[in-house]
């Protein structure tokens, strides 16, 4: 009942915030646009590279698709993070303190809603991109294992950025989270484990293992989800203090 109350109270506010902001509207449709570019553009590029330079890009399809594992929840988190900054500027966060919605209910909504949207987004976008085949079961596990990245990124913006300008700067700086998995792909164990300090590494690593036929990929997802949850705790506490002014 509390969850339904939170969705009814905050869902329309979020929807209006997205509708009135061109950037957020673009971020919402960008994953589908990117998936279409991957589906049609990458094979065309691969054929051109093969014919002109004798370079087989298809050997890196798994690496290219693994970016979606981390990118989709982070994009979801970015949308929610900017919504939080808008609501901070509008005074909505302060106004929520005098509504029947409890602070705990609000925080629970901010954690669960981005994860739910991230899971749906991943399940929808991966088949569209389609460079490599992922069975529905493993894809669902990948979506669930990477989903905590969404509230992690949202709370990062909401807790540390004072306004949307600072949010843009912090969002760009957070792009460094995409780099370690790229480097890790070309590094052999045990040195590869050093990249595990980045929360984006674990779901991407799980995807590589699954695509290589390994059955142990759920363990990487569990480790990653636990690590992401651990990182969420201090962010959640700081954002809670921000809410209380």
For 141, the token pair is 């596990």
pLDDT higher than 70, residue 108: yes
Q: Give the mean pLDDT of the chain.
A: 88
Instruction: Return d(Cα 207, Cα 120) in angstroms, integer.
Output: 17
**Position with higher pLDDT, 243 vs 30:** 30
Among 54, 141, 111, residue whose Cα is nearest residue 228: 111
Write down the pLDDT at residue 189: 82
- The alpha carbon torsion through 226, 115, 22, 155 (nearest 10 deg) reads -40
Q: Roughly what angle, to the nearest 10 degrees, separates helices 217-243 and 103-129? A: 140
Those residues whose C-beta lies under 8 Å from the C-beta of residue 219, and which sit 6 or more positions away, are none
Q: What is the pLDDT of residues 127-183, one digit of tens each?
A: 999 999 999 999 999 999 999 999 999 999 988 888 888 888 888 888 788 888 888
Q: What is the pLDDT of residues 11-56, one digit of tens each?
A: 888 888 888 888 889 999 999 999 999 999 999 999 999 999 999 9
pLDDT higher than 80, residue 230: yes
For 235, the token pair is 């962010």
Instruction: Return d(Cα 65, Cα 206) in angstroms, integer.
Output: 12
Q: Residue count of the chain, please give it.
A: 245
Instruction: Return d(Cα 14, Cα 114) in angstroms, integer.
Output: 11
Instruction: Return d(Cα 203, Cα 218) in angstroms, integer.
Output: 9
**Mean pLDDT, rounded, for 182-204:** 92
Q: Which CA distances in Å does 42 have to 62, 78, 84?
A: 12, 26, 35
SS (H, E, C) 56-85: CHHHHHHHHHHHHHHHHHHHHHHHHHHHHH
Instruction: Return d(Cα 133, Cα 184) in angstroms, integer.
Output: 22
pLDDT higher than 70, residue 208: yes
**Considering the chain, what percentage of its residues have pLDDT values greater than 90?**
60
């Amino acid at each position: 009942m509390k969850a339904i109350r939170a969705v009814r109270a905050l869902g329309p506010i979020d929807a209006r915030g997205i509708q009135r902001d061109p950037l957020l509207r673009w971020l919402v449709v960008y994953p589908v646009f990117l998936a279409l570019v991957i589906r049609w553009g990458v094979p065309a590029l691969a054929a051109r590279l093969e014919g002109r330079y004798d370079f087989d890009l298809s050997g890196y399809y798994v690496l290219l698709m693994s970016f979606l594992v981390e990118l989709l929840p982070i994009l979801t988190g970015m949308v929610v993070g900017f919504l939080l900054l808008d609501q901070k500027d509008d005074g909505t966060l302060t106004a929520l303190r005098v509504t029947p919605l409890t602070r705990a209910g609000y925080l629970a909504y901010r954690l669960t809603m981005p994860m739910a949207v991230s899971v749906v987004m991943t399940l929808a976008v991966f088949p569209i991109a389609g460079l490599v085949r992922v069975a529905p079961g493993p894809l669902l596990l990948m979506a669930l294992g990477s989903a905590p990245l969404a509230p992690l990124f949202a709370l990062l913006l909401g807790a540390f950025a004072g306004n949307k300008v600072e949010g843009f700067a912090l969002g760009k700086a957070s792009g460094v989270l995409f780099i370690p998995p790229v480097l890790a792909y070309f590094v052999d164990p045990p040195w590869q484990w050093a990249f595990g300090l980045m929360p984006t590494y674990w779901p991407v690593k799980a995807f590589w293992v699954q695509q290589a036929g390994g059955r142990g990929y759920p363990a990487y997802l569990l480790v990653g989800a636990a690590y992401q949850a651990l990182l969420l705790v201090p962010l959640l506490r700081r954002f809670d203090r921000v809410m209380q002014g």
